[in-house]
Amino acid sequence: MKWSALILLAGCAGPMGTIVTDTGDLSEATSAPRVNAILELGGGDVILTADLRPGPGDGLATVGEALWVRGSNFGRLPTVIIAGRPAAVLARTTDGGLVARVPPGVPVGEQALLVANQEGHGQRALMVRRLIAALPPEGGRLILAELGDDGPRAVGEIPAAGQLVAVGWDGRAAYVLDRTNGRITVFELPAQGGPRAEATLDLDLREARGPRGPRGPGGPRSEQPEDVTAFAAASAAPVLMILRGHVLTLLDISAPLRPGRTPSRTLPATIPRGQIVVAALSPDARLLAVALEAGNRLVLLDLRREGPASVMGEVALAPEARVPVIADVAFSPDGRTLWAALGDTAKSRAVGPQPTELVSMRIDRAASGEGRPPLAIARRVRVDEATAPVRLNTGRTIPLVSGASIRLPPERAEVYLTAHNRAGAATIFRLGSADRATPFADVSGNAGAAELSPDGRWLLVPVAQASRRLAIVSVPADEHPGPQRVVDLGATAGEISVPSSPRLPSLGCQP
């Protein structure tokens, strides 16, 4: 794997440093801070009882990476700002320096790291990068791209056994799931010298069933585990979710490189077995939305209490349809709205074409059930130009500061739909505040779910092309003009399947 540096932060391996656990041993600041150097420490945990050992680094501060900031006059309680966003101070060092981590949502490119105290502030420039992790439909390789000011560029690949990828909420780790054996491989994205495999975790994801249903004590297990319905990381909480059959597993990724096991949960018996189409986890990991074939229902489950998940509310999205028409569901970034994409599915084609629709639902977490539904349809938009919806994306942009702008109702926020146009070409449709979804970009090949970059500048779409190559299509998503770009990731993407196949390339972007 090859990696290139844009600038050098330290030039070579830095000195060792000792962490101070009692900031009272440090001197108070007598003047504004002075930042002399920034050394890279990678994405691992900062152990307060160990010495810091920075490596040579690659000259780039990756989202989620820990940085040793060296200088003078930091004082006892300095504040660190990177690219205008607060960064957590993880530790202090005997030389008066500090250790901080690059926070999610920072812009890429040359940015300023600022250290401030009661006497003033000091700053130093650093180069920030964001990584994109992509998997071809058949898996086998984690392919990496770097997102810059002008879009993504391929930077390398790592062997990876699995077919699904998710990136944790703070950008420090990518998780690759092998759906055949339940093994998760953890990749440290901000590792010194480039991303690397750090750990594996084996999960028993088999459905526990006996001859007449869930197995009792000593009962047999099913020999053939059901396929994974959903695998995703919560965007605002340290939680990784795996849903297989009726078993929900939530992993604690507070220590991202060492996921913690938690007891698996079962879904309510009112959810028919084998009827789950798709599922989505809320940003705070407290709710789970499950779309069902029967009645085209969407069920909202409450995960806030331990034990089996309980039904919080449900709504029929297309009760008049005789066939399953729900293609995908997704929460809004603030968790206040739930979206669904409806239309042609593999099981609906036998009875003829189905209309493509986007439906938003308001979530009322405080609803008591007495006259106020916890889940209610707020908006329904028909997309006549689209057929065979595939994936839905509600964006990942950082919320605006309160009062910074005029706010639209949450169901009027921008969403993106990956579908096909009437000519059969894969197309990204965009729906904004107006009640009409318009074609935003056409792509050539089998397109996966579109991903919006955290700064809102780029819409990124993984595509398995007819040439059996994996690519990322990037389209400017804000007011910055620019052409659509196709970045060849330099990997064979396996045999391309029909558009309705779930074998799509998957994509994870650092937050």
Asked if residue 169 lies in contact with residue 236, where contact means CB atoms within 8 angstroms, the answer is yes
Asked if residue 55 lies in contact with residue 72, where contact means CB atoms within 8 angstroms, the answer is no
The pair of structure tokens assigned to 85 is: 């966003």
Please identify which residue in the block is written with the tokens 């057929």.
387
The residues near 263 (Cβ < 8 Å, ≥ 6 apart) are 306
Per-residue exposure over 303-341, b if at least 16 CB sit within 10 Å of its own CB, e if not: beeeeebeebbbbebbeebebbbbbbbbbbbebbbbbbb
Asked if residue 443 lies in contact with residue 424, where contact means CB atoms within 8 angstroms, the answer is no
3-class state of residue 111 by DSSP = strand
Asked if residue 57 lies in contact with residue 270, where contact means CB atoms within 8 angstroms, the answer is no
Widest Cα–Cα separation across the chain: 78
Handedness of CA 196, 474, 167, 46 (dihedral sign): positive
Per-residue exposure over 446-474, b if at least 16 CB sit within 10 Å of its own CB, e if not: bbbbbbbbbbebbbbbbbbbeeebbbbbb
Taking CA atoms, 310 is separated from 25, 93, 233, 269, 316, in Å, by: 51, 48, 21, 10, 18
Asked if residue 62 lies in contact with residue 77, where contact means CB atoms within 8 angstroms, the answer is no
Q: What is the pLDDT of residue 15?
A: 63
- For the chain, the domains span 19-128, 173-266
Q: What is the pLDDT of residue 465?
A: 74
Provide the residue-wise pLDDT of the chain in tens; the chain has 511 residues: 433 333 334 434 456 678 887 777 788 888 999 999 999 999 998 888 778 878 777 788 999 999 999 999 999 999 999 999 999 999 999 888 999 999 998 999 999 999 999 999 999 999 999 999 888 877 888 989 998 878 888 888 899 999 899 999 999 999 999 988 889 999 999 998 889 999 999 987 554 443 334 444 344 444 445 678 899 999 999 999 999 988 999 999 999 999 998 889 999 988 988 889 999 999 999 999 999 998 999 999 999 888 888 999 999 999 889 899 999 999 998 899 999 999 999 888 888 889 999 999 999 888 755 566 888 999 999 999 999 998 898 875 444 444 444 455 666 678 999 999 988 888 999 998 788 888 888 888 788 878 888 878 888 888 887 666 788 888 888 655 566 788 887 654 443 332 333 356 778 888 8
Q: What is the pLDDT of residue 483?
A: 67
Q: Where are the alpha helices (DSSP H) in 166-289?
A: none
Main-chain dihedrals φ then ψ at residue 429, nearest 5 degrees: -105, 140
Distance CA 137, CA 164 (A): 9
Q: What is the pLDDT of residue 306?
A: 83
The residues near 29 (Cβ < 8 Å, ≥ 6 apart) are 73, 74, 75, 76, 78, 117, 118, 119
Instruction: Tell me the CATH number for domain 19-128.
Output: 2.60.40.10
Please identify which residue in the block is written with the tokens 């499950």.
290
Phi-psi region of 452 (alpha: psi -120 to 50; beta: other; left: phi over 0): beta
3-class state of residue 349 by DSSP = helix
Q: What is the CA radius of gyration of the chain?
A: 24
Q: What is the pLDDT of residue 331?
A: 94
Asked if residue 496 lies in contact with residue 468, where contact means CB atoms within 8 angstroms, the answer is yes
The pair of structure tokens assigned to 145 is: 């791209």
